[in-house]
Structure formats: structure tokens, C-alpha cells
Amino acid sequence: MTEQLGVAVIGYSFMGKAHSNAWRNVNAFFPDTPPVRQQVLVGRDASAVKGAAAQYGWAESATDWTSVVARDDVDIVDICTPGDSHHEIALAALAAGKHVLVEKPLANSVAEAEEMVAAAVAAAARGVRSGIGFNYRRVPALDLARRLIAEGRIGVVRQVRASYLQDWLADAAAPMTWRLRRESAGSGALGDLGSHVVDLVQHLLSEPVVSATGHLRTFVPTRTGPDGPEDVTVDDAAWANLVTASGAVASLEVSRMATGRKNGLALEVYGDRGTIGFDLERLNELQVQDGRGGPTAQVSGSQRIVVTEPDHPWLGAFWPPGHVLGWDHTFIIQAAELLMAIDQGTDPTPSFAEGLVVQRVLAAIERSAAQQGTRVDVVRDKED
Amino acid sequence: MTEQLGVAVIGYSFMGKAHSNAWRNVNAFFPDTPPVRQQVLVGRDASAVKGAAAQYGWAESATDWTSVVARDDVDIVDICTPGDSHHEIALAALAAGKHVLVEKPLANSVAEAEEMVAAAVAAAARGVRSGIGFNYRRVPALDLARRLIAEGRIGVVRQVRASYLQDWLADAAAPMTWRLRRESAGSGALGDLGSHVVDLVQHLLSEPVVSATGHLRTFVPTRTGPDGPEDVTVDDAAWANLVTASGAVASLEVSRMATGRKNGLALEVYGDRGTIGFDLERLNELQVQDGRGGPTAQVSGSQRIVVTEPDHPWLGAFWPPGHVLGWDHTFIIQAAELLMAIDQGTDPTPSFAEGLVVQRVLAAIERSAAQQGTRVDVVRDKED
Amino acid sequence: MTEQLGVAVIGYSFMGKAHSNAWRNVNAFFPDTPPVRQQVLVGRDASAVKGAAAQYGWAESATDWTSVVARDDVDIVDICTPGDSHHEIALAALAAGKHVLVEKPLANSVAEAEEMVAAAVAAAARGVRSGIGFNYRRVPALDLARRLIAEGRIGVVRQVRASYLQDWLADAAAPMTWRLRRESAGSGALGDLGSHVVDLVQHLLSEPVVSATGHLRTFVPTRTGPDGPEDVTVDDAAWANLVTASGAVASLEVSRMATGRKNGLALEVYGDRGTIGFDLERLNELQVQDGRGGPTAQVSGSQRIVVTEPDHPWLGAFWPPGHVLGWDHTFIIQAAELLMAIDQGTDPTPSFAEGLVVQRVLAAIERSAAQQGTRVDVVRDKED
Amino acid sequence: MTEQLGVAVIGYSFMGKAHSNAWRNVNAFFPDTPPVRQQVLVGRDASAVKGAAAQYGWAESATDWTSVVARDDVDIVDICTPGDSHHEIALAALAAGKHVLVEKPLANSVAEAEEMVAAAVAAAARGVRSGIGFNYRRVPALDLARRLIAEGRIGVVRQVRASYLQDWLADAAAPMTWRLRRESAGSGALGDLGSHVVDLVQHLLSEPVVSATGHLRTFVPTRTGPDGPEDVTVDDAAWANLVTASGAVASLEVSRMATGRKNGLALEVYGDRGTIGFDLERLNELQVQDGRGGPTAQVSGSQRIVVTEPDHPWLGAFWPPGHVLGWDHTFIIQAAELLMAIDQGTDPTPSFAEGLVVQRVLAAIERSAAQQGTRVDVVRDKED
């Protein structure tokens, strides 16, 4: 029997549950991936993490990540904690020779992220793999979109409209949480939602953002915390105007105040020969208009593609046409992609370096916002 | 200056208003049509019809249609009265040598309709033109649909799903009206809505319905009339299964009880190579899937076509792309088509004969409904 | 530690994969269900079933279902084979005291189904549970629909439009399969797709269908099999007009020839006060119009509900709002419901008896189709 | 008989046709408006304007607007020429005591617009009325939206997403036109499309924009003109971030390069208690989510309202529910509103002053764009 790869997941709440689900199912849908063993789930509350480990199918639980990342029976460390601990855990795990998957954002600061990239590059030279969890790259419809754009199906991209709208803070009476404090969360809607959007824009267009303007807003500046009214120190919503290396312009809008939108990540990409549209609330669909209609425009419009055909990305692993996937399947695919990279000795994507690029764009948006929205360049590596 | 064609419209309520609008605007949008003169609007209530005539742009009003159809300054008689007077007016007008447009249904009985067809055929031999007002044939999206089907863009048609759903009777407290009495209305949802559906099915497929099953239902059997509770003697809803000459199967459902549907005429046509969809509530759109996706089905779905391009049917007469038409524009186009036929000396479509074919299908549906839904053949002309 | 329930799944192709996925995940999402052990996957091809068992997470595989159903370490027998073996396996498993889940249809004949119901009733008296796999009852949006209808939110239901359209046979060159032979498949689109539709109509309305008309069609009567052209002996498409106990009318249309529709199960339910709509291709959404708009109809329309809130049926077990479920989650919920019933000592739904009622309706449709569509009564139990 | 108001339209191309249609039909749909007489259509090409006048129903044509605005039989001067002549014609007409309707934009410069406002104010004191043609205020769905927002149905508005996307310049081979030269057109997508968007944002929210950032782009800098390649000197697309007096933030994106979008004016308004959405390609529909779902969110979603009920704005003048309006009906309503204001001696809206406010916002966007997107204040009147 093939040697199993032992997995440790650090963190057991929302993301820990989603990643546990991925590890529990990845071999069943992708039989060519190396077999994994759900070894240990790690959290600070011994009792709670024990219960979660039992529920989600882990062999054991633990409270001390430092010892876990050193264990011989752990080959992959999957970091699902809040952003402020990513740097420390990832560096330790890479140093211990473990493959590492980090939930986005890569870290809470660009400086930390740069160190993590350096560590990942050094580790890769020793055959240790690392990746970041921009799971929406694994939505089959979005991977199809990226392929169609790369093939030139919509021509040269000029404009992108990108938004990620939620409404869980629309009610001013919603209470204070750690996510609304700058010291713990680093950022608000911009970091949480904008990071996905920036990554997808760069991923779909296969090119980096080079300049940005930004505008941030906290609509509800004070919320009720455990000890009474407290200042909200992160943004509720953010807007940006991004220019890519080729000169395409992407408008970005993210919000936690958009009443009625639960998880509305929407993208429209306009090329000189076609258009692509996507909405995460209908994640099995892609809107594609390719070509401008030929000699006449009589039969020219946007196609609604139900992305569930066997030759659509990753769909062969799942169900027959029309039998749709859910949000959590993207994590299964993400795990499969990481496992395949480990198996084949290649560097997984998205990499730490791609996570760093996203954070530099977010930093540029914040810098612009602090300067009345004046356009600023995104910091690039010296060698770029 | 070109001689003007004098028009008389008989009836001044809903349909009279829609037809008046058409005559008032037809030359402005279609400058190649023969010029018309809005001569006289006819109705039984002298005061009301005088007011309507002034409002809708008519030179004069009248109360006696028999004298109007004989006038020298009237060239076209447009019959917008309830169905029970169509037969008498149309025969008189044709006999007087006037071109005739009759609102659907052609008549309240097949026998009357047959006499009208005979009269129309005889009149046509003398250069007198006649047509029936199935205005939905003049929806540009539906004309495009017919053309695409005729060109084989969706292959051989096998199945049609056709429905026309309204909700103005959903409330059991809605009062009795003449439309709910068999003696005045002839039929309920079947005749009023089903006639449009049957005509469109035959028109889109370019072939007749040859057999039918039927089921009728009156959900609210008694309603409050002016003198207290009264029996509803027509159907509230109707269902049919229609087979066409080529063997295609069309399911039909019409209702005045479909809560939430205001004017929902929806059609789905499934061919062996593609599909077409339409909904009257979005009358400027057509859904088209042509072809099954070629070697792979990666980019294969239904296109949403906004039917407002200059090379779409009749659109050159109106506005630039994306500047949508309304329901009433179909009557303007209908008037233009009649005028062009008069001008060119051709027989307009849809003809009285086509109206008769529709009524024979409706009669077959009623016959089947009276026999527990057993399939019956549609009566055909001997020479067919 | 709680005693685990050992599960055996019989069959390892499409449905076997879907059910395996359910057993692998049910405890992780529903921690209050009794713990299960994926004991054995059963199939005729020893090598293939061994591979499938390994892939899908089973402890072992087997080829002889008769010995499996007798094993002490098997508590639940889940039958995912073609319909012609359901009867035999289910009776054996129930006789052996195992809880049984049978994929729909219950059996290939009404007679077999009646025997299975009798066996299930007898077994229930001994505490042995049984259920049938109408998994679409477990779509949260459809369960919400059922609840809203039961609460009277759309008033008295009058009309239902129900269709289940696929296109995998639209191409006449698609080859012959066992699904197109009456002896093996029992029925075509009617049994495969119509059974879901009939069950949902009865489930949503909480009442049985009492009469039916039917029409069947085989559009492509001959297809190429392994030995050359072969007759297709089941229907490609079916239509029915169903009347329920309360007098509501449901139109049914199912097809494997509806080009462009991959898995299009669509339902529209019209009540006298509101309307509900659903499409399986967007399974996380429900369209609801409740009430007719109050004093004015200014703000009255159909709401698009994204059914992913914590208080929506079963959603608390999964992800936050807007994080959508896929088709396969319905099987996880189905497994959970069965386990809860076993745990609580109640009879699961849908029961064998409910499966029998569906088959009697399908039989009535076929009987009507053989009589030119004449309406026939659905056979009922004597005590009904 | 009531005295008729004589109308002169200056300009006979696209807008001249749309306004002619409005004057031809306004009394027929709105019988309470003062009767109008289509007196004279004015254009520079004598032969062309003569033909247009005959086609569109005018009594006569003329080539010299200066004499037309002085005629005794002209009461209303409707200016449909390009923006560079609005100032001169409007001032002359107002000075001659004629009521004036000016197509948007009010003028090609803020300075001209300010003089026009002064003239309009002075004229109003003499009972002379003036208005600007922001016809999209007359879309019934948008008027309903404004009312619902004003009533507080969606609470306090925080965010607006507004875009107006067309694609007639997406093809780089599309030729040079006067619309792409700054000297003749004043502006590109910003002035043409952005003016509508800015007006609607202010109109829907009933408050002014007070600051703006802007970004302009010309994607195709050179196009082929009559004498060879020529520089495009206006923007192809524009983006802005607008802040209103109450602190709401509106993102604006307009483009003539958005492949596949024909006339896509889309608005999303997010309040703290609800949301409103609109798309001009479906101009009879409004998406409304009011309230956050009460005690539970089980039945909470966005309603699709078909805005064709008798109690919807202006709909009583047209057709029964579900019988949809087209783009051109907005001009008929616009004419009716102007006539009612003249009749009642009130000042019509939108006024010249409102047109000036829009132009000041557009000027602010351009100013910001020239300063790397730095936020700038919108110039306000001293008394504001």
C-alpha cells in the first residue's frame, strides 16, 4: 500500500471545518492523489478541539501546534488560524520540512508575508511545498473562465468589474467582534473579501496589478462590545480602481453592508471580442459571450453555461452533467491540487509569492485611501 | 401626394386603444407604408366613443358600423369588438370592398369562422385584403425564433412547452364579468390565451397541429355578479397535449389563476440540435442554444439575445440597439405588415384561414375535454 | 464510545458513489446522528468493487450480497442496484433484521412494490426501519417550499407545473443502453425522472394524486447497440395531467431529449394567494411570492430566496449564508434523516409505502397512455 | 375647444425622432394634458428635415431656428441638437417667452450651463417654463424606486453601484465620428452616459453629490476618419467614486467598450434595511428587497416586481398589467410631465438647475482624473 501523507490542520472553526471536509474527501473524488491520513486537528481549547476532531474525522486532537509541526507522522501542515499567527506557524512548519497550506490572507503585514515567501522559496529548494488557499481559483466555472481568457476567446481584456458583497454587518446593532478590530484582524472588508477579488483579477487575466486608487469607509463607527460601545477600527467597505500591467482597468467594490447579498462575489470581464460573467451565488454557471456575432449580430448574446460537463475543469471527478457542486467542493479540489503537486514534485499554485503580490495590492489601496485616493504604484520585487 | 387610406376602427376599449395607437404611429416608423388617415372610431356609446376618438387622434366618431363600412372615405375596417360580432361586421365590410383586420379570435364558432374564410377568399379574388390580429407574431424576438427554426438552427423540433399564465382571476372575490359567461365570451382562458399559444406553436414550427387532448377547469365556479352569485360558465384554466403534422409534441397550459404571472406567455422549443426560449414579460429577449457544442461541450449554453439589433426583424424602423420595444409596438408592426400587403397586392398573414385553423384546434381541445381527455383529431379542410 | 452502525452499500456505480459520499460525511455534518462505519461495498465485479471500496472509504468489498445482508457487523443495507433487484435484496435484508434504504424506484412493478411495502410494515413492527431514496425531498429549498405550502403561505394550491428535462438522448446517434430496454429498465423517462416529479408533487402538496392522463413518446425508435440497430422499448419523453385529492391540477413533462437541459427539474406551484418556483440547476434558490400585495400591488413580486440561512432546513449543519450546497449534499441529509429515525425509533420518510404510491401513479399514466390519453383513476389501497 | 400649444422641435435625428414620437402620442395617453400641435420640425438640411417632418407627423419643417423660436404659433421649443448649440437656442427661446425643453447635457460647459440656469430662473418669474430631458427619470420602475427610497423602505442608503455600459466602440475598427472629438462632443462616455447616471443617483437618493474621484481612459486612441487616422480626444470609459451630502458612496462606471452590453444602465442601491436593483435592458422590472426578513430570514430575498400595475407611476395611462412599455414611452411621459407643469403653472423637473448640478459633478470627475484621481469637492452655488 502506498505510504499515506499525514495531515495536521491548525484551527477548527469555520475554515478548519471546511479544510477537514476537504481532507476527508479528497482521495474519494481524486483517486490519483496520494492517500492522506487525517492525523491531528489542533486548537487552543482542548475540549472543543477534541469534539471537533471526533466530528470531522481526525485520528486525534492537540493544543500545541509547535509540537505537532515537529511530528514524524505529520507531512502536511494546513494553517486555518487567524492571520496574525500565519507567519509564525508557517515558518516553523517549513523549517521542520512540512508541506504547508496557509489560508488567505498570507499574513497580516507585507513584511511578514515577504519573510514567508523567502522561507517558502528556500524550502522549495529542499522539495518542501507550500501554497495559499485562494479557494475560488478552484471554482470550475472560474477556471474555465481563466482558460477561455488565456485562449483569447474574449480578445484583449480592457475592463473588469469585480465586487464581493455581503451583508452581515448591515444591521448597525450587530455586535463588535475581533474581526472589527485592526489589531486582531489587520483589515476589514478589504483584506477579507478584497484579497479574493484581487487574486482573481490577477489570476483570470494572468497579469499583475501595477497601480491602484483606494477609498475606505466605516459606515458604523461604533458597535456594542462586551464592555459597552467600542470603536470599529477597520473598514466596512472598500473601493479601488486597479490598472494591470497590460493597461486593463478593474473596478473593485467590497462590502459587508450590502443588504441582501449573502456571499456575492461577482465578476464581469470585458474583452475587445467578448465578455465573461460570474456570480458565486450561482457558482456552477458561467456567462460567456465570445465573438461579436460575425457578419450579422442576429444571434449574438451571452451564453449561460452550466459548468458541469465532464470536460469542464475537475468535473470528471464528481457527478454527471447538471448535478451541481457546492461551495465546499472548491476546498476538495484545492487539496487535490496540492497533493498532486507534492506527488509530482512541482510547486503548487497559488504560491506564497502570489499571496504576497495580493497583499501588496491591498497595501497600495490602503496607501491611496490615506492620500485622498491619489493613484499609487504597487510595490514590486526588485527583479520584476 | 400619395392617396391616403382611410381607416375605421370598430370598438374603442382595450383593443380599440391599442389599434388606434398603431394607426397613429405606423407611417412614422414605417415610412414606406401607404399613408393612412385615422378617419373614424366606432362604438355604441356616442358620448364615450366621441371622447375616445378625440383622445386617440381620430377625425370623427360614429355609432353605426353598418353605415361606416359603406363609406367611400373608409378603405380599411379594423374590427376590435368582442368575438360575437366579428362575423357580421367582417362579412359586411368585405362585401363593401373594404380591407379587413379582425382581432382574434376570428369568431366565436367554427361555423362562423368557416363562412368568414370563404368570404375572405372571395374578396381576395377582387383584390380585397383581410387578416387576423395575432399580434404576438409581430414580436421581433418571436419572428427571429421562427426564422431560426425554419433555417434549421435547432434541428428537427420534437417538443414544445407553451404556457400563457395570468392571475387576474386568482382572487375568488374578483367579480363576475361578461368574459366569464359562455354566451358572450364563447370560451375562457382557452379561447382568450390558448388561441395565441396555438397560433404561435403552428407559426413557429410552420406546420399544423393534427391531434389534441384537452382538460378544462373552472376553479371558482361561482362569482358575485350585479344580481348576486352567478355561475361561471367558461374555463379558468386549460391544458392540452398537441401533436403536429411532423410528430412534434406540444404541451399547452393557460390560466387566469396563476398568482404572480401578469402576462406570462412562455415558450420553449426543443429541437434535436438546439433550443429556443421566450417569455413575453421580457419581450425583447430570446434564449437560443444552437448546436450541441461541437467536439466538446465546454462552451455550450443558452444565449440571451437582446433582440434590438438593426438586422433583427423590423428593428430598423425603431431605435438603436438596447433601446427596447414595448407590448404596443407589436400592433404598429401588425398595421405596417397589413399596409405593405395592401400596397403590394399580396395576401397578408396571418389570414382568416389561419385563424380558422386555430379555432379548429381549440374546438378539438374542448371535444377531448368532454371525453375524459381522449385524443381527438383536429378537423381539416377536405383538400388538405 | 457509542456503538457504530455498520453500513453495506449494494452497487458501486453512480448511485453507489453518491451514497458512499453520504455515509462518509454524514456524522461530520450531523454530529447528533448515530455513528456509522462504512463496512462493506458490494458489487458483482470483484476487482472493480474492490477499487471502488478503497476509493470511497469502505473497510472492505464483497461480491455476494446474500451473505452480506446476513452479517452481524452490518446494520444498514443501502440498495443502489438497478430496479429489477430491489425486491429481492430488500426482502432478504428486512428478513435479516437490517434497516434498509432503497434507491428509487422502489421496484420495477407495482406487484413487487406491494410485497415490499408489506415486508416493510412487518419489519417496522420489529423495530426495523426502511426508506426510499427520493433525495430531492432533501433539497433545503424544496423542504422550505413544502413547509411554506403547509403553513398556507400561498393559500390553496390550484395548479402545478412540473417538469424534469435532460438531453443525454437528444442526439439520435447516442448508443443503445440497458436503460432503453423495457426488460431491464422497466420504464424510460417516465420512471426515471417522472418518479421524482410525482413524489415531489405529492410531497409538496401533502396529498395524493387520484387521477391521471398520460402520453408517452419514443422519438428515436432505433439506436445502435453492440450487435447493430436495436429497438428502443421505453419512452424518451412523457406527459401527464394529474389531479390531486383536493382537486389541484398538475401538469407533468419529463424528457431525455430536451436539448440544453442537463438536469432541469423545475416546479411552479400556484396557490390562490401566492406562488413558489424552483429549478434544480439552481438548487440553493427558491422563488416565493406570498400574498397578492395587500392594499396595493406596488411592491408585489416573486422573491428570490437564497436558501442558505441558518434557520433554513438542515442548513445549520453546513456553512454560513451564501455558501451554497451541491447536489450531493442531498444524499448526506438523506442519510442523516434515516439515522435519526433509527436512533429515535420512528419510521423514516419517505417510506416504502410512499414509493408504492408513486409507482401506482406512474402505472396510471402508462395505462392512460395505452388508452389514447383517457383519464384513469390511480389505484388506491382498500383502506384509503 | 381648448387652445392648442404649438411645438417646435429643433433637430431631427435620433433624439428628434424620439421627441417627435412623444409629441405625437402624449395627448392620446394622457388626455388631461393640454392639447399640443406638432407645428414645425427644424434642421439644417432643408430636404432631409422636410422628409423627417412628413414622416414624424409635423405640419411643416424649417431650417432657421432663430425665426422659429420667434413665431407666434410656437409655444414650446424642444431642443434636440448637439450640446454645443443648446446655450444659444435656449437663451433665445426663453427670451422670446417660449417654454423650453433641452435634451441632456444642458450645455457643453459649466459656464454656459450657469447662464442658462440664470435665464431659466428669470423666465420662470414671467411664467415661462423650462426643463431638461433626463428621460430615465420617467422609467416607471425608477420612479417607483425613488418613491420607495424616499419612504424609507430600504432605510438609510449607504452604497450605490451604478454603471452604464454600451459596446458600440468595442471594435477598434469602428470609425471616427464627431462624438469622439472633444471640440464637438465636449466629452465621451462620461458626458453621454455618466450624465444619466449622476442624475439618477442624485434623483433616487434625493440629495446631491458633494465630492468625487475620477479616472478616464481612451482604450482606442486612434481611429480611421474620412482623411485617415485621427486622434480620439474624448474618453471611451470613465470611473468615479462619488460621495453624497449624507455620506453615501456611489461607484460609477460608464463605457462604450463593454462588449455585449447594448444599453446596460444598471443600478444597485443598498440601504441599511433593504436593497433596490434595476437594469435598463429590462426596464419594466424592479428588484426590491425591503426589510431584513423579520424575526427569521427564512423568507427573505429580492422581489422581482413587474412594474406594470395600474398604481405604478404613470401606468394607468397605458396598458393592463404585464403589457410592458418600451424605451420610447419614457419620452411620452416626459412630455406629459412638462405639459402638466405648464398647465398648472409650476416649474417642471428636472430643471435647468438640476442639469447644472449634474455638469458640476462631471466637471469634478474630470478635474480629479487630471490630478491622479485625488478626491475633489463638487462646486456648489454660494447660497447652498
Site from B259, B287, B292, B375 to mutate, C interface, most C CB atoms within 10 angstroms: B259
Q: Which residue, B133, B157, B181, sits at the end of a domain? A: B133
What is the rounded CA–CA span in Å between residue C167 and residue A48?
48
Report chain D residues whose CB lies below 8 A from the CB of C304: 301-304
Domain assignment present for C362: yes
pLDDT digits (tens, 9 = 90+) for D98-120: 999 999 999 988 999 999 999 99
- Asked if the Cβ–Cβ distance from D300 to C304 is below 8 Å, we say no
What H or E segment, with its residue span, contains residue C243? strand C237-244
- Residues A205 and A79 reside in one and the same domain: no
Within 13 Å and on the Cβ side, how many CA atoms surround B182?
A: 8
Domain assignment present for C182: yes
Check pLDDT > 80 for residue A292.
no
What is the rounded CA–CA span in Å between residue C242 and residue C212?
5
Report chain A residues whose CB lies below 8 A from the CB of D368: 373
- Residues A217 and A303 reside in one and the same domain: yes
Structural domain total, chain A: 2
Give the distance from residue D260's alpha carbon to the nearest chain C alpha carbon, in angstroms: 22
Q: Is B164 touching D (CB cutoff 8 A)? A: no
What H or E segment, with its residue span, contains residue C67? helix C65-68
Residue D380 has a pLDDT of 86
pLDDT digits (tens, 9 = 90+) for A236-289: 999 999 999 999 999 999 999 999 999 999 999 999 999 999 999 899 999 999
Check pLDDT > 90 for residue A37.
yes
Angle, helices C86-95 vs C110-125, to 10°: value is 10
Residues 6 or more apart in contact with residue D325 via CB below 8 angstroms: B326, B327, D140, D283, D284, D308, D318, D319
Query: Which one of B159, B241, B261 has the shortest CB-CB distance to C257?
Result: B159
Give the distance from residue C369's alpha carbon to the nearest chain B alpha carbon, in angstroms: 10
pLDDT digits (tens, 9 = 90+) for A112-130: 999 999 999 999 999 999 9
| Cell output for B299 | 462552451
Portion 98-157 of B in contact with A at CB < 8 A = 144, 148, 153
More confident residue, C299 or D22: D22
Site from D154, D159, D298 to mutate, A interface, most A CB atoms within 10 angstroms: D159
Report chain B residues whose CB lies below 8 A from the CB of A312: 298
- Residues D45 and D107 reside in one and the same domain: yes
Q: What is the mean pLDDT of chain B?
A: 95
pLDDT digits (tens, 9 = 90+) for C290-318: 865 544 567 788 899 999 999 999 999 99
Residue of B nearest to A312 (CA): B298
**DSSP letters spanning C357-381:** HHHHHHHHHHHHHTTTT--EEPP--
What is the rounded CA–CA span in Å between residue B150 and residue B138?
16
Give the distance from residue A300's alpha carbon to the nearest chain B alpha carbon, in angstroms: 6
- Residues A163 and A143 reside in one and the same domain: yes
| Sheet containing B130-133, strands listed edge to edge, beginning at the edge strand earlier in sequence | B60-62, B36-42, B5-10, B76-79, B99-103, B130-133
Domain that holds residue D49: 5-133
Residue B381 has a pLDDT of 80
- Residues B279 and B294 reside in one and the same domain: yes
Residues 6 or more apart in contact with residue C253 via CB below 8 angstroms: B159, B161, B251, C162, C163, C164, C165, C237, C238, C239
Report chain B residues whose CB lies below 8 A from the CB of D27: 55, 57
- Residues D129 and D144 reside in one and the same domain: no
Domain assignment present for D337: no
- Asked if the Cβ–Cβ distance from C148 to D305 is below 8 Å, we say no
pLDDT digits (tens, 9 = 90+) for B303-316: 999 999 999 999 99
Strand segments (E) across chain B: 5-10, 36-42, 60-62, 76-79, 99-103, 130-133, 157-165, 209-217, 222-225, 228-231, 237-244, 249-255, 264-271, 274-279, 285-290, 302-306, 376-377
C-alpha of D55 from chain center: 25
Check pLDDT > 80 for residue A296.
no
Domain assignment present for A330: no
Average pLDDT of A334-343?
98
Check pLDDT > 90 for residue B293.
no
Backbone φ, ψ for residue C39 (5° rounding): -80, -55
Give the distance from residue C291's alpha carbon to the nearest chain A alpha carbon, in angstroms: 21
- Asked if the Cβ–Cβ distance from D28 to B31 is below 8 Å, we say no
Give the DSSP letter of residue B259.
Answer: T
Of chain A, the percentage scoring pLDDT greater than 70 comes to 97
Residues 6 or more apart in contact with residue C179 via CB below 8 angstroms: C185, C188, C192, C234
Domain assignment present for C283: yes
Site from A284, A303, A309, A312 to mutate, C interface, most C CB atoms within 10 angstroms: A284
Residue C240's identity, in one-letter code, is: A
Residue A108 has a pLDDT of 87
Query: Are B227 and B275 in contact, with CB atoms under 8 Å apart?
Result: no
Strand segments (E) across D67-207: 76-79, 99-103, 130-133, 157-165
3-state secondary structure of D183: helix
Q: Is A304 touching C (CB cutoff 8 A)? A: no
Chains touching B (at least 3 CB pairs under 8 A) are A, C, D
Residue of A nearest to C16 (CA): A319
Query: Which one of B288, B299, B309 has the shortest CB-CB distance to A297?
Result: B309
Confidence of residue D1 (pLDDT cuts 50, 70, 90): very low
Domain assignment present for A282: yes
Question: Of the given ranges (A183-192, A331-340, D283-292), which has the lowest mean pLDDT?
Answer: D283-292
- Residues D85 and D150 reside in one and the same domain: no
Give the distance from residue D56's alpha carbon to the nearest chain B alpha carbon, in angstroms: 5
Chains touching D (at least 3 CB pairs under 8 A) are A, B, C
Query: Are D264 and A289 in contact, with CB atoms under 8 Å apart?
Result: no
Report chain B residues whose CB lies below 8 A from the CB of C253: 159, 161, 251
ipTM of the complex: 0.95
| Cβ–Cβ pairs < 8 A, chains A and C | 100
Residue B185 has a pLDDT of 85
- Residues D109 and D161 reside in one and the same domain: no
- Residues B198 and B278 reside in one and the same domain: yes
What is the rounded CA–CA span in Å between residue A142 and residue A202?
12
Confidence of residue A297 (pLDDT cuts 50, 70, 90): low
What is the rounded CA–CA span in Å between residue A136 and residue A134?
6
SS (H, E, C) chain A: CCCCEEEEEECCCHHHHHHHHHHHHHHHHCCCCCCEEEEEEECCCHHHHHHHHHHHCCCEEECCHHHHCCCCCCCEEEECCCHHHHHHHHHHHHHCCCEEEEECCCCCCHHHHHHHHHHHHHHHHCCCCEEEECHHHHCHHHHHHHHHHHCCCCCCEEEEEEEEECCCCCCCCCCCCHHHCHHHHCCCHHHHHHHHHHHHHHHHHCCCEEEEEEEEECCCCEEEECCEEEECCCCCEEEEEEEECCCCEEEEEEECCCCCCCCEEEEEEEECCEEEEEEHHHCCEEEEEECCCCCCCCCCCEEEEECCCCCCCCHHHCCCCCCCCCCCHHHHHHHHHHHHHHHHCCCCCCCHHHHHHHHHHHHHHHHHHHCCCCCEECCCCCCC
3-state secondary structure of B25: helix
Residues 6 or more apart in contact with residue C368 via CB below 8 angstroms: B373, C212, C213, C214, C215, C240, C374, C375, C376
Question: Of the given ranges (A293-302, C300-309, D157-166), which has the lowest mean pLDDT?
Answer: A293-302
Confidence of residue B383 (pLDDT cuts 50, 70, 90): low
What is the rounded CA–CA span in Å between residue A262 and residue B119?
64
Report chain B residues whose CB lies below 8 A from the CB of D24: 24-25, 28
- Residues A185 and A287 reside in one and the same domain: yes
Sign of CA dihedral B324, B329, B334, B338: negative
Check pLDDT > 90 for residue B133.
yes
Residue D51 has a pLDDT of 98
- Residues A127 and A192 reside in one and the same domain: no
Residue found under cell 432643408: D46
Tell which residue, A167, A144, A377, A157, has the closest CA to residue A281: A167
Confidence of residue B1 (pLDDT cuts 50, 70, 90): very low
Q: Is B367 touching D (CB cutoff 8 A)? A: no
Residues 6 or more apart in contact with residue A358 via CB below 8 angstroms: A104, A105, A106, A134, A195, A198, A199, A202
In which residue ranges of chain C is pLDDT below 70?
1-2, 291-297, 382-384
Indicate which CATH number applies to the domain containing C13.
3.40.50.720
Query: Are A334 and A135 in contact, with CB atoms under 8 Å apart?
Result: yes
Backbone φ, ψ for residue A266 (5° rounding): -120, 140
Report chain C residues whose CB lies below 8 A from the CB of A23: none
Angle, helices B195-205 vs B352-369, to 10°: value is 120
b/e map C226-247, b = 16+ CB within 10 Å: eeeeeebebbbbbbbbbbbeee
Of chain D, the percentage scoring pLDDT greater than 70 comes to 97
D299 to C160, C289, C325, D295: CA distances (angstroms): 21, 10, 18, 10
Residue A183 has a pLDDT of 86
Tell which residue, D158, C276, D142, has the closest CA to residue A260: D158
Q: Is B276 touching A (CB cutoff 8 A)? A: no
Q: Which residue, C88, C116, C133, sits at the end of a domain? A: C133
3-state secondary structure of B70: coil
Residue C291 has a pLDDT of 67
What is the rounded CA–CA span in Å between residue B368 and residue B160?
20
Backbone φ, ψ for residue A307 (5° rounding): -85, 75
- Asked if the Cβ–Cβ distance from A373 to D373 is below 8 Å, we say yes
- Residues C125 and C180 reside in one and the same domain: no
Portion 225-254 of A in contact with B at CB < 8 A = none
Query: Are A28 and A59 in contact, with CB atoms under 8 Å apart?
Result: no
Q: Which residue, B105, B133, B161, sits at the end of a domain? A: B133
Confidence of residue D383 (pLDDT cuts 50, 70, 90): low
Report chain A residues whose CB lies below 8 A from the CB of C21: 25, 28
Tell how strand D36-42 and strand D60-62 pair up.
parallel
- Asked if the Cβ–Cβ distance from B274 to C261 is below 8 Å, we say no
Give the DSSP letter of residue B312.
Answer: S
Check pLDDT > 80 for residue B294.
no
Indicate which CATH number applies to the domain containing C209.
3.30.360.10
Between CA C25 and CA C32, with CA C30 as vertex, the angle to 5 degrees is 130
- Asked if the Cβ–Cβ distance from C296 to D305 is below 8 Å, we say no
Domain assignment present for B262: yes
Query: Are B153 and B244 in contact, with CB atoms under 8 Å apart?
Result: no
- Partners of C211 in the beta sheet? C243, C377
Residue A100's identity, in one-letter code, is: V
Report chain D residues whose CB lies below 8 A from the CB of B14: 319-320
Domain assignment present for C378: no
Give the distance from residue C174's alpha carbon to the nearest chain B alpha carbon, in angstroms: 12
- Asked if the Cβ–Cβ distance from A327 to C323 is below 8 Å, we say yes
Residue found under cell 398603431: B22
